[in-house]
Amino acid sequence: MIRAAEPATQPPDAVPEFSGDWALFLDVDGSLLDIADHPGDVRADEVLVQSLACLRSRLCGALALISGRPLKELDSLFAPLHLPAAGQHGLERRSASGQLLPGFDLPEGFSQVESRLALFVDCHPELFLERKSRGLALHYRQAPELEREVLALAEALVPTCTPPLLLQRGKMVVELRVPGSNKGTAIAAFMAERPFAGRRPIFIGDDITDEDGFRKVNELDGHSVLVGSRDSAARWSIASAADLRRWLSQLASDVSSEQTRERT
Ligand SMILES: O=P(O)(O)OC[C@H]1O[C@H](O[C@H]2O[C@H](CO)[C@@H](O)[C@H](O)[C@H]2O)[C@H](O)[C@@H](O)[C@@H]1O
Closest protein CA for atom 7 of ligand 1: 68
Atom 27 in ligand 1: residue holding the nearest Cα? 68
HSE-CB of 221 using CA atoms within 13 angstroms:
4
Confidence of residue 263 (pLDDT cuts 50, 70, 90): confident
Residues with CB under 6 A from ligand 1: 27-30, 35-39, 42, 67-69, 130, 137, 139, 141, 170-173, 207, 209
| Ligand 1, atom 23, residue with closest C-alpha | 39
Higher pLDDT, 44 or 6: 44
Give pTM, 2 decimals.
0.94
DSSP 24: E
Nearest residue by C-alpha to atom 14 in ligand 1: 39
pLDDT at 14: 60
| Residue nearest ligand 1's atom 19 by CA | 172
Would you say 96 and 193 are in contact if contact means Cβ atoms under 8 Å apart? yes
Residue ranges in the chain assigned as alpha helix (H) = 46-58, 71-77, 110-123, 147-157, 183-191, 211-219, 241-263
Most confident of 2-16, 99-113, 139-153, 250-264: 139-153
Residue whose C-alpha is closest to residue 221's, from 194, 197, 201: 201
Q: Is 216 helix (H, G, I), strand (E, B) or coil?
A: helix
Pocket test residue of 74, 142, 171 for ligand 1, highest count of atoms within 8 A of CB: 171
Domain segments of the chain as ranges: 2-103+181-263, 110-177
Residue 11's pLDDT is what? 42
Mean pLDDT for 153-178 is 98
Question: Which has the minimum average pLDDT: 180-184, 241-245, 259-263?
Answer: 259-263
Cα angle vertex 179, ends 211, 143, to 5°?
70
21, 27, 34, 221: which one is catalytic? 27
Query: 2-103+181-263 belongs to which CATH class?
Result: alpha beta
Cis bond leading into 201, ω under 30°? no
Cα separation of 38 and 17, whole Å? 35
CATH number of 110-177: 3.30.70.1020
Ligand 1 center–CA 67 separation, angstroms: 9
Q: Quick one: pLDDT at residue 258?
A: 80
- Please give the Cα distance from 29 to 205 (Å, whole number): 9
Please confirm, yes or no, whether 27 is among the known catalytic residues: yes
Cis check for the bond before 39: say yes or no (omega within 30 of 0): no
SS3 track for 56-113? HHHCCCCEEEECCCCHHHHHHHCCCCCCCEEEHHHCEEECCCCCECCCCCCCECHHHH
Q: Is the pLDDT of residue 6 over 50?
A: no
* Per-residue confidence (pLDDT) for residue 5, from 0 to 100: 45
Mean pLDDT across the chain, nearest whole number? Answer: 93
Q: Give the pLDDT confidence of 73-94 residue by residue, as tens digits.
A: 999 999 999 999 999 999 999 9
**Who contacts 49 (Cβ-Cβ below 8 Å, separation ≥6)?**
78, 79, 80, 81
Distance in Å, CA 33 to ligand 1 centroid: 10
Instruction: Quote the pLDDT of residue 102.
Output: 84
Q: Do domains 2-103+181-263 and 110-177 have the same CATH topology?
A: no
Amino acid type, 188:
A
* Ligand 1 mutation pick, 128, 140, 172, 173, max ligand atoms within 8 A of CB: 173
Q: Which atom of ligand 1 is nearest to the CA of 37?
A: 17
Q: How confident is the model at residue 259 (pLDDT cuts 50, 70, 90)?
A: confident
Distance from the CA of 259 to the center of ligand 1, in angstroms?
A: 36
CA 42 from centroid of its chain's CA atoms: 14
262: CA distance to ligand 1 center in Å? 40
